[in-house]
């Protein structure tokens, strides 16, 4: 099967690294250019394209430089075929613990996130997952 489970895990490792390090070059390796991020966590529908996402990442203090404890990992991975997968992951950034629902496609020889829907809660309200 093209694009096996281990490849998905490796690709999403770049996702976690990119956000923790605030490194858009890493994030561009995993996000498809047409990806959008969706949320309604604070009561309003939010639809962000990748230019907006990269702008936010570049403008904030990097969690790695701030000395934040790194907390990220997999909750589920479901692969439906050689080119389609879904991952539910968690990642802490600043004072927020995010749950991300990621739809991935295997295209051009690599896994790419084509949609992301997320929610978050204050980090101090979450029991440690590790």
Query: For the whole model, what pTM was predicted?
Result: 0.92
* Partners of 36 in the β-ladder: 49, 115
Would you say residue 1 has pLDDT above 50? Answer: no
Structural domains in the chain plus CATH codes: 5-125 (3.10.450.50)
Give mean pLDDT, residues 79-102.
96
Neighbours of 123 (CB within 10 A): 16
Q: What is the rounded CA–CA span in Å between residue 49 and residue 76? A: 25
Give mean pLDDT, residues 70-93.
96
| 130 — pLDDT class (breaks 50, 70, 90) | low
pLDDT value, residue 95: 93
pLDDT value, residue 2: 47
Q: What is the dihedral of CA 124, 65, 18, 26, to 10 degrees?
A: 170
* Partners of 89 in the β-ladder: 74, 100
Q: 81 or 100: which carries more pLDDT confidence?
A: 100
Neighbours of 106 (CB within 10 A): 21
């Amino acid at each position: 099967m093209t694009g096996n489970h281990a490849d998905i895990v490796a690709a999403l490792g770049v996702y976690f690294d990119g956000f923790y390090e605030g490194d858009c070059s890493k994030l561009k390796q995993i996000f498809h250019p047409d990806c959008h991020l969706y949320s309604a966590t604070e009561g309003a529908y939010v639809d962000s394209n990748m230019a907006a996402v990269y702008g936010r990442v570049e403008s904030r203090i990097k969690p790695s430089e701030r000395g934040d404890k790194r907390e990220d990992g997999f909750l589920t991975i479901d692969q439906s075929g050689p080119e389609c997968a879904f991952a539910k992951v968690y990642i802490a950034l600043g004072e927020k613990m995010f749950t991300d629902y990621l739809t991935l496609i295997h295209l051009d020889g690599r896994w790419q996130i084509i949609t992301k829907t997320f929610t978050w809660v204050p980090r101090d309200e979450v029991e440690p997952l590790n």
